[in-house]
């Protein structure tokens, strides 16, 4: 935290001449265009009529129409899908954080036998191809009558959010010097108290960053949603694919649904961007 | 809540006969238990189930007949030329995507590690792709690639190539899919590396600059080693995820044309849901799991920090 006033190391050297800045900005702008163009194109497509979508050469200037959005809001279930996506994302993230935080601390600091192996086991869960896991998880949920429910989906998503939380959080905790807690414990606190009073506040930015990623992962997840839901708890990514039929792809409707799915995420990104870097910066405390 | 004086706690050991270390171990277990419980319950069954299924010849079109065939599924898979093609496709995909994402992400992070005008606008723009649903990413690139009405087709026409749908030709289908993946995930590496760069200690770099080290030297000998942990996390996560990549391939090409983009995950999907060979699908999944585990262990072995960063920083000034 105290480093903010210090100059960041300029790893590329101190050049500030024009010969550096011109190519620098050219590259930056080019990459920005590369990043933005497909998204902007998709948003533009969502405002085209069905006919305009197939125009050759592709139209840059066209008569905008809201027909795809009207179709989505009045004739389809998309608004409810959006709500499902929100509920499941936030629910799964909250659950994973609640369970994972304490466990990652245990893995980072406490002398548990077989610690490294347990940590690797938790990470390895994420290595399992989700397709193979989807069916057994479906069977588990079915025996609990949780198929196509929000709770079922939240539990299913925790299988990949929880390892992520534990693995990342453990790395961050390991980067903080253990002296912090030891100092607190000398003061008379128990190990758990030391963690809650001293270390946890320091980890707040990291927790926020991890939460952001968990929400994004859950928001965008497709495979489990495809297999584990039918009507009630279906999420947006699955409903988008329903616009792709054997006859045709109604690109403008697809684009509109995609835009609706993506707009909250874009707004979210702009709001949380500064937390991301701050949170992922490890070793926030320098001795 | 008043903190108990340590003396009282020390007395606790004598009273109950449990050493502080024991106590910490138990606390650790208790804290770890909910996570492990949840994960084991949810994932043990799928793993055991997959292993069990992979040893049987379960074909969903005939669910009553479930003969035990031992390792035949594995043998058939390894003999199948198509499976090896899938592996090849996946390897190309993983290496190509991960390398480019890492290099590009690192370049972007280094460039962003200074203050410049427009940084606050460019930063969220650069981040955007990683936030977009992979399904949407696949769709938007599929739309762009379309040979008739896609935006890129227009560019092709101007150099005289007509109706070239990138995803329908086996030469360009895989690169096409790779571009979509790189587009989406480079910002992830960029963000990770930027955070890593931000947390590097300043002293070694100042010392190096005083010693007259060039920018390249600084990068190669200082930045990279100090970023070991971050590099490990990034490479590990991306390699694992690219290996399992399904969403983008499914929505863009479904594995086609032919087998050009049939990644392993797509293959498993086909085995399970198109051909209904559940046994083979499960067997292939387990093979993939083992491969990923082996690769991950290698990564960890290579990148594990041998000495804490502080020691490295200390050595630098007095290195000569």
In this predicted structure, the answer to whether residue A12 has a pLDDT above a threshold of 70 is no
Cβ(A173)–Cβ(A108) below 8 Å: yes
B163: confidence class by pLDDT, cuts 50, 70, 90: low
Higher pLDDT, A246 or A233: A233
Cβ–Cβ gap B28/A100 under 8 Å: no
Convert the pLDDT of each residue in A25-50 to its tens digit.
Answer: 898 999 999 999 888 888 888 888 87
The answer, yes or no, to whether the previous bond of A57 is cis (omega within 30 of 0) is yes
In this predicted structure, the answer to whether residue A233 has a pLDDT above a threshold of 70 is yes
Cβ(A198)–Cβ(A176) below 8 Å: no
Put simply, whether A110 touches B (Cβ < 8 Å) is yes
Put simply, whether A263 touches B (Cβ < 8 Å) is no
Alpha-carbon gap: B233 to the closest alpha carbon of chain A (Å): 9
Q: What is the mean pLDDT of residues B33-62?
A: 78
Higher pLDDT, B94 or B217: B94
Helix (H) or strand (E) holding A24: helix A18-46
Cβ(B134)–Cβ(A38) below 8 Å: no
Interacting residues of A285 by C-beta distance below 8 A, sequence separation 6+: A1, A176, A177, A180, A202
pLDDT (0 to 100) of residue B199: 74
Q: Which residues of B touch A142 (CB under 8 A)?
A: none
Most confident of the ranges A156-160, B42-46, B163-167:
A156-160
Put simply, whether A186 touches B (Cβ < 8 Å) is yes
Higher pLDDT, A91 or A284: A91
Q: What is the mean pLDDT of residues B65-73?
A: 77
Interacting residues of A189 by C-beta distance below 8 A, sequence separation 6+: A197, B3
Convert the pLDDT of each residue in B169-192 to its tens digit.
Answer: 878 888 889 999 999 999 989 988
pLDDT (0 to 100) of residue A247: 62
B99: confidence class by pLDDT, cuts 50, 70, 90: very high
Measured distance CA(A212)–CA(A268) in Å, rounded: 9
Is B277 strand, coil or helix?
A: strand
A11: confidence class by pLDDT, cuts 50, 70, 90: very low
Report the alpha-carbon angle B185-B192-A180, nearest 5. Answer: 155
In this predicted structure, the answer to whether residue A226 has a pLDDT above a threshold of 90 is no
B12: confidence class by pLDDT, cuts 50, 70, 90: low
Cβ(B220)–Cβ(B303) below 8 Å: no
CATH number listed for the domain at residues A77-280: 1.10.3720.10
In this predicted structure, the answer to whether residue B1 has a pLDDT above a threshold of 60 is no
Cβ–Cβ gap B268/A188 under 8 Å: no
In this predicted structure, the answer to whether residue B41 has a pLDDT above a threshold of 80 is no
Q: Hey, how many other C-beta atoms are within 10 angstroms of the C-beta on B20?
A: 13
Sequence spans of domains, chain A? 14-68, 77-280
Q: Which residues of B touch A129 (CB under 8 A)?
A: 244, 264-265, 268, 285, 288-289
Cβ–Cβ gap A128/B28 under 8 Å: no
3-state secondary structure A118-173: HHHHHHHHHHCCHHHHHHHHHHHHHHCCCCCCHHHHHHHHHHHHHHHHHHHHHHHH
Nearest to B137 by CA among A84, A258, A90: A258
Cβ–Cβ gap A126/B127 under 8 Å: no
Cβ–Cβ gap B139/A254 under 8 Å: yes
Convert the pLDDT of each residue in B236-247 to its tens digit.
Answer: 889 988 988 888
Which residue out of B27, B110, B117, B308 would a mutagenesis test of the A interface target, given it has the greatest number of A Cβ atoms within 10 Å?
B27
Q: Hey, what domains does chain B have and what are their CATH numbers?
A: 83-315 (1.10.3720.10)
Q: What is the pTM of this model?
A: 0.80
Put simply, whether A8 touches B (Cβ < 8 Å) is yes
Cβ(A50)–Cβ(B236) below 8 Å: no
Q: What is the mean pLDDT of residues A4-11?
A: 42
Q: What is the mean pLDDT of residues B118-147?
A: 85
Put simply, whether A183 touches B (Cβ < 8 Å) is no
Put simply, whether A267 touches B (Cβ < 8 Å) is no
pLDDT (0 to 100) of residue A14: 52
What is the ipTM for the molecules in this complex? 0.79
pLDDT (0 to 100) of residue B308: 43
Most confident of the ranges A141-150, B30-39, B104-113, B297-306:
B104-113
Cβ–Cβ gap A28/B114 under 8 Å: no
Identity of the residue in B3, B110, B122 whose CB atom sits nearest the CB atom of A32? B122
Identity of the residue in A126, A133, A188 whose CB atom sits nearest the CB atom of B6? A188
| Nearest chain B residue to A270, by CA | B124
Which residue out of B20, B46, B60 would a mutagenesis test of the A interface target, given it has the greatest number of A Cβ atoms within 10 Å?
B46
pLDDT (0 to 100) of residue B306: 47
Alpha-carbon gap: A85 to the closest alpha carbon of chain B (Å): 12
Convert the pLDDT of each residue in B252-292 to its tens digit.
Answer: 888 778 788 888 888 888 888 888 888 888 888 888 888 88
Higher pLDDT, B136 or A132: B136
In this predicted structure, the answer to whether residue B49 has a pLDDT above a threshold of 90 is no
């Amino acid at each position: 935290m105290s480093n903010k006033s210090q100059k960041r190391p300029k790893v590329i050297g101190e050049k500030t001449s024009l010969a550096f800045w011109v190519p620098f900005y050219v590259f930056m702008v080019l990459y920005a265009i590369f990043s933005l163009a497909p998204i902007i194109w998709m948003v533009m497509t969502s405002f085209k009529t069905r006919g305009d979508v197939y125009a050759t050469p592709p139209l840059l200037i066209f008569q905008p129409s809201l027909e795809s959005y009207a179709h989505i809001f009045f004739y389809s279930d998309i608004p409810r899908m959006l709500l499902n996506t929100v509920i499941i994302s936030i629910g799964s993230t909250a659950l994973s954080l609640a369970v994972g935080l304490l466990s990652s601390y245990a893995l980072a600091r406490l002398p548990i036998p077989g610690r490294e192996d347990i940590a690797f086991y938790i990470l390895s869960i994420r290595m399992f191809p989700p397709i193979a896991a989807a069916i057994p998880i479906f069977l588990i949920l079915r025996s609990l009558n949780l198929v196509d429910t929000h709770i079922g989906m939240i539990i299913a998503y925790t299988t990949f959010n929880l390892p992520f939380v534990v693995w990342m959080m453990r790395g961050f905790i390991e980067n903080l010097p253990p002296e912090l807690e030891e100092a607190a414990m000398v003061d008379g606190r128990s190990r758990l108290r030391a963690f809650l009073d001293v270390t946890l506040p320091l980890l707040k930015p990291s927790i926020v960053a991890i939460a952001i990623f968990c929400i994004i992962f859950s928001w965008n997840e497709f495979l489990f949603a495809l297999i584990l839901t039918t009507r009630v708890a279906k999420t947006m990514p699955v409903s988008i694919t329903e616009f792709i039929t054997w006859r045709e792809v109604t690109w403008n409707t697809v684009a509109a649904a995609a835009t609706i799915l993506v707009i909250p995420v874009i707004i979210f990104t702009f709001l949380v961007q500064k937390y991301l870097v701050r949170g992922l910066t490890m070793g926030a405390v320098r001795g | 809540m008043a903190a108990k004086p340590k003396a009282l706690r020390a007395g606790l050991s004598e009273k109950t006969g449990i050493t502080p270390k024991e106590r910490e171990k138990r606390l650790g277990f208790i804290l770890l238990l909910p996570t492990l419980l949840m994960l084991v319950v949810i994932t043990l069954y799928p793993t055991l189930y997959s292993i069990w299924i992979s040893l049987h010849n379960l074909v969903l079109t005939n669910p009553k007949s479930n003969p035990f065939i031992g390792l035949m599924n594995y043998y058939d898979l390894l003999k199948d030329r198509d499976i090896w093609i899938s592996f090849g496709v996946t390897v190309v995909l993983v290496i190509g995507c991960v390398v480019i994402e890492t290099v590009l992400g690192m370049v972007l992070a280094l460039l962003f590690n200074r203050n410049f005008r427009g940084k606050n606008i460019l930063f969220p723009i650069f981040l955007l792709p990683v936030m977009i649903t992979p399904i949407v990413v696949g769709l938007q690139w599929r739309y762009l690639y379309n040979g008739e009405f896609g935006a890129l087709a227009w560019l092709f026409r101007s150099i005289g190539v007509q109706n070239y749908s990138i995803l329908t030709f086996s030469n360009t289908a895989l690169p096409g899919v790779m571009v979509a993946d790189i587009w989406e995930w480079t910002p992830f590496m960029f963000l990770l590396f930027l955070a890593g760069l931000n947390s590097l200690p300043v002293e070694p770099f100042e010392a190096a600059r005083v010693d007259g080290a060039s920018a390249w030297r600084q990068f190669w000998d200082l930045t990279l080693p100090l970023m070991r942990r971050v590099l490990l996390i990034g490479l590990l996560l991306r390699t694992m995820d690219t290996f399992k990549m399904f969403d983008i391939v499914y929505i863009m090409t479904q594995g086609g044309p032919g087998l050009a983009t049939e990644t392993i995950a797509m293959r498993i999907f086909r085995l399970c849901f198109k051909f209904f060979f559940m046994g083979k699908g499960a067997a292939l999944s387990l093979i993939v799991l083992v491969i990923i585990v082996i690769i991950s262990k290698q990564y960890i072995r290579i990148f594990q920090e041998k000495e804490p960063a502080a020691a490295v920083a200390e050595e630098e000034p007095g290195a000569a």
